[in-house]
Amino acid sequence: MLLDPELAEFLKNVSESGNKAFEIMSIDDMRQATKRLSVFYGDVEPVHKVETRAIKADDHDFLVRIYHPSPAKKLPMLLYFHAGGYVRGDVELCDPICRKIANRSSCIVISVNYRLAPEDKFPAALEDAYTTLCFAHRYAHEIGGSKDHIAVAGDSTGGNLATVLTLLTRERKGPKISFQILMYPVVDYTYSFPSHEKFAKGYFMTEEALKFYESQYFPPDADRKDPYISPYFIKHFDNLPPAYIITAECDPVRDEGEAYAEKLKKSGIKVVHYRFKGTMHAFIYFSPISKKADEAIFSVAEALHGFFRETIEKALHGQ
């Protein structure tokens, strides 16, 4: 497989830098290295308003960052869950992405600073995701959003959280999720698809790293076919939302994401799927060095705007 020349040059520079691979770093070093990668993420794009709020859960607080594309009220809302293997990353990691999505979709974006492993194991991040969904639904009017038009999105393990959240809120009879956007999602922790072997090394995300992250978040005795861990094994897809799914061509988790898209389709759920040629895992973070990254982000915003078009137009016209 041939990587896009811009991304291939980036990986070459990373390889020649002599930096340690994430999976052999300490957790603290890994988190600091993630912050240093932000130099590749590009300049921040202005939006109408950005605010940070603390959400109170039963025994802890966590932050969300809310991006308002305009002063309009009753806009659709998107909950965004960042990547990072459940171990690293925060709202700063996906800040440039959230700004672009908000501006181009005309939707309010709520980025979630969920708890990280190994300090907080499964299902801590998922419960924070559900708490955020309930917060957005309950305080939609105060936020400026529409409680009846909520979407979820995430990339990598954030994509896992997004799609598992659709299952969790269905089972709990919680707030309805209208639409899900999954970017190179991790949906099968049995590692049973061929792309895990084919792209195990040399394409930014390694098989070894995936297994390290898994070991930090999920208990060793947890059933890896539990749908709340591996949503590929969901048995009943009734009342799950339509999906827009992006996969990366040179990515260990490519095949499982595409197989999940097919499962959704066969269950009667409307799915749009694109495989971005010449890309690797996490490519959407590198827009300053890759046109493919912005193409993917803009396609997400377009899909979101298209799905909620009627609601957005009414909101922008004060109806």
17 has catalytic annotation = no
Mean pLDDT, residues 99-119 taken together: 98
pLDDT of amino acid 40 = 65
Residue 20: pLDDT band by 50, 70, 90 thresholds? Answer: low
Cβ-based burial of 220 (10 A; exposed 0-12, middle 13-18, buried ≥19):
exposed
pLDDT of amino acid 33 = 83
pLDDT of amino acid 39 = 62
Catalytic, out of 146, 156, 178, 287? 156
Threshold 0.75, pTM exceeds: yes
List, for residues 253-295, the tens digit of each pLDDT value. 999 999 999 999 999 999 999 999 999 999 999 988 899 999 9
Residue 2: pLDDT band by 50, 70, 90 thresholds? Answer: confident
60 has catalytic annotation = no
Residue 42: pLDDT band by 50, 70, 90 thresholds? Answer: low
Considering the chain, what is the average pLDDT of its residues?
Answer: 95
Q: Indicate the fold that domain 5-316 takes in CATH.
A: Rossmann fold (3.40.50)
Catalytic, out of 281, 287, 290, 299? 281
The strand ranges marked E within 5-112 are 49-56, 61-68, 75-81, 108-112
List, for residues 149-190, the tens digit of each pLDDT value. 999 999 999 999 999 999 999 999 999 999 999 999 999 999
pLDDT of amino acid 41 = 66
317 has catalytic annotation = no
Mean pLDDT, residues 118-134 taken together: 99
Catalytic, out of 4, 128, 188, 251? 251
**What is the percent of the chain with per-residue pLDDT over 90, rounded to a whole number?**
86
Give me the residue spans of the domains in the chain: 5-316
